Amino acid sequence: MAESKNNGCTVKDVAPFDFVVAYAAQLKRSGKVEVPKWVDIAKTAHWKELAPYDPDWYYIRAAAIVRKVYLRQGTGVGALKKRFGGAYRRGAAPERHQDGAGGLIRTILLSLDELNITEAHGKGGRKVTRTGQQALDLVAGQVARDEV
């Protein structure tokens, strides 16, 4: 018989998409994340043509960023810019990788620092705090229970 309990479930144990959507919903419900005024007109990279269509894209990006920091402690803005970058379409010329918007990532990391989810790492970058890890693992456990 399969166990119905998911003791010790972490962020690594659940599907990335399901976790990001669930944590973004929690961030939105809590109301603690202060969304900047410029979010409705901001693009996620300089090479993008339009801003995101989803009105909750800021929460989705924040959840994805905190997941990346959870998986690799010491990740900084530069690494996250590369992760959230993409292919810059140059017409007839071959595509090239371009980084994502660093100001957006920096703003999200600072707001996560204020919530005590992340903090500065001793060797540079960010790491997830103990309370942040508990909160993220709690959401991961809820996602795992919903999958079963």
pLDDT-derived band at 148 (thresholds 50, 70, 90) equals: confident
Q: What is the C-alpha to C-alpha distance for residues 26 and 139, in angstroms, rounded to an integer?
A: 8
Is the pTM of the predicted complex or chain greater than 0.85? yes
Grade residue 5 by pLDDT with cuts at 50, 70 and 90. low
pLDDT for residue 1: 40
pLDDT tens column, 29-57 = 998 998 999 998 888 998 888 888 998 99
83 alpha carbon, distance to own chain's centre: 11
Nearest to 100 by CA among 45, 27, 35: 45
DSSP character string of the chain:
------TT--GGGS-HHHHHHHHHHHHHHH--S---GGGGT--SSTT-SS--S-TTHHHHHHHHHHHHHHHSTTB-HHHHHHHT-EEEEETTEEEEEE---HHHHHHHHHHHHHTTSEEE-TTSSEEE-HHHHHHHHHHHHHHHHHH-
Distance of CA 58 to the CA centre of its chain: 9
Q: Is the pLDDT of residue 4 over 80?
A: no
Q: How far is CA 147 from CA 11, 13, 99, 106, 142, in A?
A: 14, 11, 34, 33, 9
